[in-house]
Structure 1
Amino acid sequence: MSWTPDPRPNWVAAVNRGDAGPVVDEARRPFDPELLMAEALVRQGRASDDWAALGNNDFIEPLTLFCHGLEHEADLTVMGRWMSRRMILRLLEVRIQLNEYLAADPGTLSEPIDQPIFVIGAPRTGTTVMHGLLAQDPAQRAPEGWELLRPVPPPHPDPDIRAADPRIALAGAELVMPQTVASGMLAIHEYSGRMYKECLSAMSFEFRSEEMVSRTDVPTYQAWYDTADLRPAYRTYRKVLQILQRRMPTRRWVLKSPAHLQGLPALLEVFDDARFVITHRDPTAILPSVTSLIATMRWAHSDQVDFAAIGRHHLELYSRSLDNLIDLIDSGRLPADQTAQVPHKLASTEKMAAARSVYEQLGMDLTAETEAAMAAHVAATPPGKHGGHSYQFEDLGLNQAEVRARFARYIERFDIPVPDHE
């Protein structure tokens, strides 16, 4: 196996050596859940023991497990500790803001979320492409990075005022930091405050999110998360969307995350009229690509990254998740008329054809105005503008035939092309 991360910038190496006093001092503080909650409360102008301001206690157990993992399992660098600590404080502060806002304006909870479209599918199958395309429809809206990281107060309806919101820069700095620390990140997946964002950022307010395990190796939290009830995370996500549309009426949300494959039963309970766009790809292409992404994310936080272990984990995770997807379709819990299937090749090389196919499968009207907006978006977002994403199946240390055998049901059900990579 030969996976080697790109070298970090010199300034990151200096910070990790301890050459940046304020960052080092903050990074040395322990990942103690009570201390972090108290600090977040004080930062929001509350008493340090005003626990009620943080809402119900559903988040306490996962926060505690996550903090344990960060302190004792993740082997974080100075930058890794600093970024993780800042993320936790933001999540706790936004919890306080969410509760304050909903207490002041309880009518927000009556905001309708009608037939949202969720773009799902394993990672690296074209979910980002389809999310961006569907967001071009004037009748639809995709949340931007700053909106999901800092949703309170609701965005201003005036576009000029909205564009000057200071939260855009705050969220942008946090989102860009990992791709600055890990040089190869930008070529794999770009983030910014104004780009469309995955649902995980809002689900993280309950600390029930794959965001935690994608950034850091926290096996105790991972074991808990694998069987966790995700309904609290989806309920909070729904509230976030209601807040975001409080001053900007939204006909339909377009949302996206591969992680929804693990939470579909909970998602369907909270968003019972949801529509789904499901992207598909050869698993022997999915696994090395997603493993490279996660390994690079973890490299931003730690010097110790086990590429093969990440690959084995995602083999188990997505073979199980895609089997569960088929079970949900076969049982009728995920009705066929509420889903659109999109092959990766169509999403990656024939984007407009992919969009037309989705609208046809979901019985939606694709207007000339929307087609023109989609075509302009495709022209403005060429693939590979930040360099190529290099990965090899062989780096996983897995057997190609065995991988395809694990995904045999998925490959057959969705007629996935499986060229020989050997």
Structure 2
Amino acid sequence: MGRALRRTSYDLNEAGLLPVEYADVLGIPFDFTAKPVVAPPAKPRETVRVRAVRPDRDALEIRFPRVEGYRIELPADRLTATFGSDSVLELTPDLVGPSVTTNRGILGEGVDLTLAHLKDMRSSTILFHLARHILTTQFRDPGEPPRLYLFGQVKRIARQWLDGGYLRCTGGTSPAQLIYQDIADRAAERIKAAITETLVGDRPVKAVLDRYNPTGSTRFVNFTTSKETRWRTDPGKCHLNWALCDSDWEAEFCRVVEGHPRVRAYVKNQSLGFEVPYRLGGEEAHRYLPDFIVCLDDGHPDPLNLIVEIKGFRGENAKDKANAVRASWVPGVNTLGQFGRWAFAEFTAVYEIEAGFARLVEGFVNRAAAA
């Protein structure tokens, strides 16, 4: 019995779980004619060692900062915001839950629970709640009172966001649901990102590094995996010997960057330690792991470090992550000046990756030539 409970294989499947195994126990169920069934051992999966090829590829090493947070110095005179496509928050039943729920007991008449009680809420009340939430969660230092002198400006920007059509309600949802904390957190993050982007240059964002381990590098990568979706890297383009891919789209991107003449080096962010911290609300911290780092020759003496995300379905979480990179991480690291120049790009169409990447690189080169 004890031997039957031992696993024959501890390799994880594609879902990151242990595969199902069965054991026949003689006498259960009771049968005089039962015979033991020998379970053949599972064939072990092929494993590879992913590592930095040193010293042969040390020239392709990529260094990056390990960011713990951000410091933003707000102007005291006037706040402004620049809204874009990533500023849109779409409320759907998938995001906020069903808008109509029927409760019915064994006996008696059922009751429909709806959002009808929210329809009487005035737009000025919704605006007040949203502005207060932004002020108390996004522009408040730890242990300090909220900056009440900014309330009027934050309220003005929140009104621009609401009146500009950046809140879209579908499936029976209502704008009044902004008074709920989870939804208000998402709206506040989008408005904060729009404000932060306008501060680049005058009052730049500063990244706060990990005081104990401020710098990460591809040279420290060394692990073993049985993941089947992988790409054998070009010795002249990647410091690592393998790129582990989460999809065929990422493998296609590996092919594209290895064939582009402007790419100096690239790496897949797997066990690299490269993370982008961001928050939803005042205290809820998250870590975003982008897919790739690509070093480009855009005409400047130093290379441009491009953070790349390959995304098929782009939901609300993807917008939160993109806003965190564009509005906080990239300008914060560029302000430090210790890790070169950084930028961010997303690719959402697999058949357009090659053409889109070529256009993106051409745009960087043209801007460098015009500078």
Q: Specify if TM > 0.5.
A: no
TM-score (norm 1): 0.26
TM-score (norm 2): 0.29
- Which protein has the bigger strand share? 2
- Which protein has the bigger helix share? 1
